[in-house]
A and B are shown apart, each in its own frame.
Chain A
Amino acid sequence: MAFRIVANCTNCWACLPLCPHEAIRAATPHFEIDTARCTECAGDYADPQCASICPVEGAIVDSTGQALNPPGSLTGLSPEFLTLPSTP
């Protein structure tokens, strides 16, 4: 039972001070969760703290690789918006 931070993470620091088990490390290229320490906040909070403040969809995943904040869940933007070619 542990979460992981993956490449989408923008190193914004929001999650780090919230973790009740100090499982999050300010690593590069992106922050990391020490899976040995992470309890998914069970017993501490109703919601996992890191995933509750993380502003980036898909940055934190569960042990099966499922995004805690899937595309569209934070921005309200449907996934096809996000694949729009960006204008220069």
Chain B
Amino acid sequence: MEPTSQPMTAGASPALHPCYSEQAHRHFARLHLAVAPACNIQCHYCNRKYDCSNESRPGVVSELLTPEQAAHKALAVGAAIPHLAVVGVAGPGDPLANPERLFATFRELAEKAPDLTLCVSTNGLALPEQVEELVKYHIGHVTITINCIDPDIGARIYPWIFWNHRRIRGRKAAEMLIAQQQKGLEMLIERGVLVKVNSVLIPGINDEHLHEVHRVVKAKGAFLHNIMPLIARPEHGTYYGLAGQVEPTAEQVRALQDACASESGETGMMNHCQQCRADAVGMLGQDRGAEFTLEKVAAMQVDWRAALAKRAAVRATIERRLAMQTQFAKAKSPIPLPARRPAIIAPETLRMAVGSNDGQTIDAHFGHAREFLIFDVSPTGMRLVARRGIDSNYCSGPTTCGDTTTVLASAIEALRDCAVLLCARIGFEPWRPLEDAGIQPNSEHAMEPIVDALLAVYREWCDGGRLETEPALVRSSA
């Protein structure tokens, strides 16, 4: 079967792509395949014992897949998780330094899962020579890591590149890499491919310079520019880690992101992006990789035609819902209330439930939490209003799992007046029922202090105008 058209549209528009749209990322799942082992450059924040640091946290090692294993894994995940919309290749090395493996994987997927959007993340060195091949596969999205456009700065980030059968070092290496990245960026834009640019913020090396990078990549048409913090720990054995290079603070990253956004007058900075693991499965921030190990996937029988149809149905539902939400937000009209919705408490107050074992950080898994802390956050401050226990925790292992639906229902009942639920992890099963009950599950703040997370979410809601447009979600249990 030739992938002549893309019958389903998730990802075709950035609004529906979980990596690009804050709204969509809560609904669609994406999968990264570790199919590309080799790399053609060295970054000072990377240790090649581990996965590429541009796409994963340093120190992570993915199970390397052959193209056959990778395609089978994507089809198996796509059958088990019908929310799957995006499949990316991002590591352990640079996908474009492994073109045979990359395209063998994509060929198989183009045939058996033409609805899935394919993505690639690259350092850009081999990009110009691969662009034509890439666009053949309906690759809607490419991420390029661009840390600089000045070779003198580049020489402090990249010790060498492999180019035209030689190892090139120093400023000349950086110059060639930068030229290739910029050329690749331009070629993709010309061909109508969405490009996201990632930059690693390296204090004292490219922090000031990233303003310039932002200006240039936006001017060339990059859809998003995302600034990621450098991670440099000695235990990862990277040059920066061992040489004592400082990491930026969260405030530095945010300040730079805000400054860039306001300079370019756009909101194209991806604040919700996390540095996800390169083999993550699930919603952004929710890693279900353990369910799909090489061994487990190999044993799965996949009916890819049935899976394709199921994904189409799920996607249609989600898209309808997203479209409706967008309409409501535009019309600034409140979402119609089911009759049992309790009354509104005070305006601008957001009630949130928190799963915490230590009472300080968001460290509880939704399925294991025995009680939830209920907070009201308003412009005047935050208040712990209740501690609510639930009968039995939702997931207490395989022996009691026959009962999960009723336990989940009672957990939802206990949290009915909350608009947001913050936990360290929330499984796939309860996600939808929670949302359907009007409780937004959120595991993006795992292990963060409760106070910081509450403020961040509250800020997000205020900025997004949701406190005005959705007063229905601010409600009391009374």
Give the interface of A toward B (CB within 8 A). 10-14, 16-18, 45-47, 49, 52-53, 55-56, 74-77, 81-82, 84, 86-88
Q: Cα distance A45–B166 when bound, in Å?
A: 9
Complex contacts, B92 vs chain A, CB 8 Å: 12
Whether B239 pairs with A77 at a CB distance below 8 angstroms is: yes
Q: Is B246 an interface residue (CB 8 A)?
A: no
Whether B37 pairs with A55 at a CB distance below 8 angstroms is: no
Whether B242 pairs with A84 at a CB distance below 8 angstroms is: yes
Complex contacts, B38 vs chain A, CB 8 Å: 12-14, 16-17, 53
Residue pairs across A and B with Cβ atoms less than 8 A apart, 22 shown, are: A12-B37, A12-B38, A12-B93, A13-B93, A14-B39, A14-B40, A14-B97, A14-B162, A16-B38, A53-B167, A55-B42, A56-B48, A74-B159, A75-B239, A76-B44, A77-B239, A81-B242, A86-B234, A86-B235, A87-B233, A87-B234, A88-B235
Complex contacts, A11 vs chain B, CB 8 Å: 37
Whether B98 pairs with A13 at a CB distance below 8 angstroms is: yes
Complex contacts, B44 vs chain A, CB 8 Å: 76
Query: Given A12-B48, A14-B93, A74-B42: A47 and B98 within 8 A (CB)?
Result: no
Q: Is B375 an interface residue (CB 8 A)?
A: no
Whether A76 pairs with B159 at a CB distance below 8 angstroms is: yes
Chain B residue at smallest Cβ distance from A45: B165
Complex contacts, A46 vs chain B, CB 8 Å: 165-166
Q: Cα distance A74–B38 when bound, in Å?
A: 16
Q: Cα distance A45–B49 when bound, in Å?
A: 27
Tell me which of B42, B48, B98, B239 has the highest count of chain A C-beta atoms within 10 A of its own C-beta: B48
- Residue count of chain B within 8 Å CB distance of chain A: 26
Whether A75 pairs with B234 at a CB distance below 8 angstroms is: no
Q: Cα distance A45–B37 when bound, in Å?
A: 24
Query: Given A77-B242, A81-B242: A53 and B93 within 8 A (CB)?
Result: no
Question: 5 closest Cβ contacts across the A-B interface?
Answer: A14-B38, A13-B37, A55-B48, A53-B162, A52-B167
Chain B residue at smallest Cβ distance from A56: B48
Chain B residue at smallest Cβ distance from A80: B242
Q: Is B237 an interface residue (CB 8 A)?
A: yes
Complex contacts, A88 vs chain B, CB 8 Å: 235
Q: Cα distance A10–B48 when bound, in Å?
A: 8
Q: Cα distance A52–B97 when bound, in Å?
A: 14
Q: Cα distance A17–B44 when bound, in Å?
A: 25
Q: Is B372 an interface residue (CB 8 A)?
A: no
Q: Cα distance A52–B237 when bound, in Å?
A: 21
Whether A12 pairs with B167 at a CB distance below 8 angstroms is: no
Q: Cα distance A86–B203 when bound, in Å?
A: 23
Whether A52 pairs with B165 at a CB distance below 8 angstroms is: yes
Query: Given A55-B48, A56-B48: A47 and B39 within 8 A (CB)?
Result: no
Complex contacts, A47 vs chain B, CB 8 Å: 165-167
Q: Cα distance A16–B235 when bound, in Å?
A: 29
Whether B239 pairs with A76 at a CB distance below 8 angstroms is: yes
Q: Is B458 an interface residue (CB 8 A)?
A: no
Complex contacts, A81 vs chain B, CB 8 Å: 242-243
Q: Cα distance A84–B233 when bound, in Å?
A: 12
Scan B126-162; emit 1 where CB is below 8 A from any A CB, else 0. 0000000000000000000000000000000001101
Whether B165 pairs with A87 at a CB distance below 8 angstroms is: no
